[in-house]
Chains A and B, each alone.
Chain A
Amino acid sequence: AQSVTQLDSHVSVSEGTPVLLRCNYSSSYSPSLFWYVQHPNKGLQLLLKYTSAATLVKGINGFEAEFKKSETSFHLTKPSAHMSDAAEYFCVVSDPNRDDKIIFGKGTRLHILP
């Protein structure tokens, strides 16, 4: 069955240090994978998406993610955290071979320490 696991419910980093938000998925041969960001009491905004093109995907605000099929992972990274990155992040998997079902991870809350 299709699933997505965000390995950390909370991550804290200091401003200016790297960010790593982990996501593992279970899906078919060629899933689509997304990362969304949600600021408090707001809707979700797309950061980046993978749809079987380049495995390293660059998104907005300096974020990027790498699709690793062998590890079934799609971790989100940023070289240097900014205070404005404090938000909740959702990893999403959808499978075009399974009726386009879209599955959201439970989210990772990113805290930025001054």
Chain B
Amino acid sequence: DGGITQSPKYLFRKEGQNVTLSCEQNLNHDAMYWYRQDPGQGLRLIYYSQIVNDFQKGDIAEGYSVSREKKESFPLTVTSAQKNPTAFYLCASTPGSGRLSYNEQFFGPGTRLTVL
């Protein structure tokens, strides 16, 4: 089955700790995205990557970091600099062919991060 997996489903963190959220896809998609979802705010883009070893900041990148060492993997690290990290995090991917804006995004099931 092709798709996107995110792990863990639930994650608890103490203040001051860095945590890494996993995102893996076997769809052979070039582009991958990380979004943060808060109630009533829709999805906000954290980082995206259109190709291996390259990534761009989204609208709310402060306090987050990413890497893209392999096409199928795009992990997100939530650092201690992120002041309000409790949220639902969604990873997505799109095929690389053509303009990105024409393509649907395929989403993972999400990771719910709670800071204790």
Contact = CB atoms under 8 A, between A and B. Distances in A.
Interface in B42-99: 42-45, 88, 90, 92, 99
A43 B101 contact: no
Interface residues of B, number: 22
Interface in A56-100: 90, 94-96, 100
A106 B110 contact: no
B40 A32 contact: no
B99 A96 contact: yes
A104 B37 CA distance: 11
Given A9-B40, A90-B43, A104-B42, A45 B101 contact: no
A43 B109 contact: yes
A107 B101 contact: no
B102 A42 contact: no
A94 B101 CA distance: 5
Given A42-B110, A43-B108, A44-B105, A100 B42 contact: no
A41 B49 CA distance: 25
B101 A102 contact: yes
A94 B98 CA distance: 14
The 4 closest A-B pairs by CB, nearest first: A43-B107, A94-B101, A100-B100, A106-B42
25 contacts: A36-B107, A41-B109, A41-B112, A42-B110, A43-B4, A43-B92, A43-B109, A43-B110, A44-B43, A44-B105, A45-B107, A46-B104, A94-B101, A96-B99, A96-B102, A100-B99, A101-B101, A102-B101, A102-B105, A104-B42, A104-B43, A104-B44, A106-B40, A106-B41, A107-B42
Interface of A: 9, 31-32, 34, 36, 41-46, 49, 51, 90, 94-96, 100-102, 104-107
Interface of B: 4, 35, 40-45, 88, 90, 92, 99-102, 104-105, 107-110, 112
Given A43-B92, A94-B102, A96-B99, 19 more contacts: A32-B102, A36-B105, A41-B110, A41-B112, A43-B107, A43-B108, A44-B43, A44-B107, A90-B42, A94-B101, A95-B101, A100-B100, A100-B101, A102-B45, A102-B100, A102-B101, A104-B35, A106-B40, A107-B40
